[in-house]
Amino acid sequence: MCNSKTTYLNAFGPNNTVSVVNDAEIGSPEFVRAVRNFSSSLPIKPSDCLDYAHALNRDLEVRFIQDGVRLIHLDMSPLEIDIEDADLLEACKAEERIRDWFRTIMKPLPSHVTPYVRLEAKERFRLWSTLLIAGFPDIEWPRTIISNDNHFAANDTCGLAKDKTRFPRTPSP
């Protein structure tokens, strides 16, 4: 069983790390609203978002961690390779579909709308929101803290860090 709680957190953890957005956050309307409304306030056009995402990833001096443990490199392919979408015309070019996705995510949401992320856009949203969280650490994002990821048992000494602490685990430099 996995309990979660929404908490407002600044982006950076110890050793200049940023946690990759998790599934619970993608499923949280409050988090989706925060990302979309913040995206709409950026001074860029939807057609420039792909270049902006790559520039942000290139210029960031942070380390990304997944599941609170593993150091990872962000996979930018969800923004490059367009997932086949049955709702769109086959004649539509992939770069136009990505531009349409950015056009949608750059629109502010009215307060009466409950936002959600479609399954085929989940990885794009994860990547975009992780980059925004890392790029704008002063914003208080409504992050979801998973209280039990079931990675290590309480008596699993292999899960301990070098300094014998268990949480939060951060990669060594």
Tell if the pTM clears 0.75, that is, is over it: no
The pLDDT value given to residue 146: 55
Dmax over CA atoms of the chain, in Å, equals 57
The pLDDT value given to residue 47: 86
> Which long-range contacts link 137-140 to residues 24+ away (Cβ below 8 Å)?
137/10, 137/11, 137/12, 137/18, 138/10, 139/10, 139/11, 139/38, 140/8, 140/9, 140/10
Given a cut of 50, whether residue 33 has pLDDT beyond it is yes
Per-residue pLDDT averaged across 70-91, rounded? 66
> Would you call the peptide bond into 168 cis, given omega within 30 degrees of 0 as the criterion?
yes
| Neighbouring-strand partners of residue 146 | 4
> What percent of the chain stands above pLDDT 70?
64
Given a cut of 60, whether residue 109 has pLDDT beyond it is yes
Per-residue pLDDT tens digits for 8-32: 444 555 567 888 999 989 999 999 9
Given a cut of 70, whether residue 111 has pLDDT beyond it is yes
Given a cut of 50, whether residue 142 has pLDDT beyond it is yes
Integer Cα distance of 125 and 35 in angstroms: 9
Integer Cα distance of 19 and 21 in angstroms: 6
As a whole number, the mean pLDDT across the chain is 75
Per-residue pLDDT tens digits for 112-136: 999 999 888 899 999 999 999 999 9
The pLDDT value given to residue 161: 53
Residue 38, H or E segment: helix 29-41
Query: Which residue type is seen at 33?
Result: R
Split at pLDDT 50, 70, 90, the class of 84 is low
The pLDDT value given to residue 79: 80
**Residue pair 33/116 in contact by the 8 Å Cβ criterion:** no
Q: In the chain, where are the structural domains located?
A: 8-159
Residue 27 DSSP code: T
The pLDDT value given to residue 71: 82
The pLDDT value given to residue 2: 43
Integer Cα distance of 48 and 3 in angstroms: 38
The pLDDT value given to residue 41: 94
Per-residue buried b or exposed e for 72-82, using 16+ beta carbons within 10 Å of the residue's own CB: eebeeebbeeb
Residue 126, H or E segment: helix 122-135
